[in-house]
Amino acid sequence: MFLEKYELWHSTPSAMNRPLVKLILENLPKSSEWPTFSGEGEYDHYEFIEWIDNLKEDTNSPDELICSKLPTILKGVAHTWYRTRRKEVVNRKQWDFWKNEIINKFSTHTWIRKVKIAFRRDKCNVQGDIEPAIWCTRQAKRLRATDRTIDSFTINEKLLSQLDRKTEYKMKIAIDAEDDLSEFITQLEHIVNVKKKRNKISKKDHYKDNETEEKEEDK
């Protein structure tokens, strides 16, 4: 961290307000709080890029600082690719350049296909130990990863397609077509909780019936 601050301080143009640079450095998240990206498994490089874009906008961080973090926050396959690509280019300290490079490298047809298959296979089973918030968030992230302009209406339609018919019908009654994800989660949680309570009551009644039968047999 000290080395990063030193390099940034001395690479900053003299026209730039150095007290401002110092303030930016003091208010940045710790290195351990930055997201990492490996380019392995079911990755989402767009979410990784969006986090850095938001940080850059919110803190007015210079490109030099953002790019100085890349060797640390890129892991595995992505880190190997970065090291090789860095030797080949001149724009080493421009975040927009690296952002486009990451998109071009990791937005492959194979990746898109894997994310779409993962979405289709991940059904919502309200009879099991489903956690609606976790499931909905995971599936919505997959949808946004392959379609950055997707709207709430389309997300809801695709999430509904992953429910069983009864739950899908109840959800269509409970939500408006363009409700946001938080409302979708709230209504699905309600349906799942009601289902769990009914299952508990049903099990208790079944236990009582068995007890009664056993007592009658003992008489």
Per-residue pLDDT reduced to its tens digit, 180-211:
999 999 999 999 999 888 766 655 544 454 55
For 13, phi then psi, to 5°, come to -55, 145
Per-residue pLDDT band for 179 (boundaries 50, 70, 90) equals: very high
Q: Do 193 and 132 touch, CB atoms closer than 8 A?
A: no
% of the chain with per-residue pLDDT over 90: 63
| CA separation, residue 146 to residues 27, 109, 118, 120, 156 (Å) | 33, 10, 12, 13, 16
Q: Where are the domains of the chain?
A: 2-107, 110-218
> CA 16, 68, 107, 86 torsion: positive or negative?
positive
pLDDT of residue 218: 54
The Cα–Cα gap between 156 and 175 comes to 9
The Cα–Cα gap between 197 and 214 comes to 26
pLDDT of residue 52: 96
pLDDT higher than threshold 80 for residue 216: no
State both tokens at 170.
């109840």
State both tokens at 9.
């301080």
In three-state secondary structure terms, 163 is strand
pTM above 0.75, yes or no: no
Instruction: Average the pLDDT over each of 84-88, 164-168, 205-209 and give the range with the smallest value.
Output: 205-209
Amino acid at 127: Q
